[in-house]
Amino acid sequence: MAVDPANIWLALPMPALLVGAQNRLEALNPAAEVFLNAAEKTLVGRTVARCLKTDVDMESDLNRARANQSVLFHHDINISRGDGDQALCDIQIAPLSDGAETMLVLLHPRQIKGRLGRALQVESSAKTAIGLADMLAHEIKNPLAGITGAAQLLAMSLGKRDQEMTDLILQETRRVVDLLKQVEQFGDLRPPNLKPLNIHDLLERARLSASYGVASNMRFLDQYDPSLPLTFGDTDQLSQVFSNLFANAAEAAASQGGTIRIRTYYEPGLRLRSKDGGQAVPLQIEIIDDGPGIAETMLDAVFDPFISSRENGTGLGLALVSKILADHHGAITVKSRPGKTVFRISLPMAPKIPKQDKGDT
């Protein structure tokens, strides 16, 4: 089977750049767009030095590889991506063809301190952990039922003071049962029932329900782009995404509450790597709160299951959000500092329905 070389470029799992004369960017693959959190269109024509801030002189590396027409490796380069995120990378620079001015730059991120690169890894780690947890949940439920039954029997023959102990056993086992239910629900997540939908309608409904429930302590502001096209999503699952994000913001807020800002906009060029090449995810939704922010030490792991800073948190909220969005061929990333936490969701547009041929009867 003949392979179209363009597909190799799209499917390359590591960020790859083509750098031409005067070290200006000529092309980026989808993995590089995700890595740099910017669309190819906005970066092409800019110099490498402007787009990739490094702790070494990458331009001189490029010039050297170009002059020698040889492959050059550089290990342990710190790359900051404009917005403060840092990634430790090995880079490889190679002439695209003999005598060519254009150089191919491959980045091999070794440790991504920032958030974006994680979006690509989270889905599989979440799936493995959830699979295991789901199995465990089934195994734990039976002995728990035994413990509950035994505690109830014991309570009947105990005096009032000792009953406090059996009450505690019952209360705590109930908590474990609730947790197991959530884990099972997570494992049972069905594939999304994708339909064209207006994300603003969905956001409005989620916000109304949150303002009477999980986020009744919060003030909501919106900044919607009214021209945003329809997305392709599952109403229930996306409502769950927004509800989880509103709940987290509300739970993190100080006792007097806080503000949640919802912003939508369209970014045409952003693509995510996927098996069939690049998937365009132009619809952007940001849920921004002014709470205390997520601790730096937790930030890289918030989308992993069972990561929680709350006493009664299961740590499944954001893992579920991440799984739902991955199933929608979308993504979620986070940036946070005290006073400003931004969850950014990217979703694809609904496919165009071909118009019926009127003459065809």
Nearest approach, Cβ of 292 to ligand ATP (angstroms)? 6
CB atoms within 10 A of CB 99: 8
Cα–Cα dist 280/68, whole Å: 37
Closest to ligand ATP by CB, 47 vs 309, is 309
Closest to ligand ATP by CB, 51 vs 316, is 316
Is residue 41 classed as helix, strand or coil in its secondary structure?
Answer: helix
Closest to ligand ATP by CB, 155 vs 307, is 307
Closest to ligand ATP by CB, 10 vs 307, is 307
Closest to Mg ion by CB, 87 vs 326, is 326
Distances (CA, A) of 271 to 12, 72, 287: 13, 28, 20
Concatenating the DSSP letter of every residue in 126-137 gives HHHHHHHHHHHH
- Choose the contact partner of 20 out of ligand ATP, Mg ion, none; CB within 5 to 8 A by kind: none
Residue 317 contacts Mg ion per CB under 5 A: yes
Interface pick for Mg ion out of 23, 237, 243, 248 (rule CB under 5 A)? 248
Q: Which residues bind ligand ATP (CB under 6 A)?
A: 244, 248-249, 252, 289, 291, 293-294, 302, 307-310, 313-319, 341
Q: Which residues, 6+ apart, have CB-to-CB distance to 170 below 8 Å?
A: 148, 151, 152, 155
Q: What type of residue is 336?
A: S
Nearest approach, Cβ of 248 to ligand ATP (angstroms)? 3
Torsion of CA 201, 205, 207, 212, to 10 degrees: 160
- Choose the contact partner of 180 out of Mg ion, ligand ATP, none; CB within 5 to 8 A by kind: none
Nearest approach, Cβ of 307 to ligand ATP (angstroms)? 5
- Choose the contact partner of 122 out of Mg ion, ligand ATP, none; CB within 5 to 8 A by kind: none
Residue 305 contacts Mg ion per CB under 5 A: no
Mode of pairing for the β-strands spanning 258-266 and 218-223? parallel
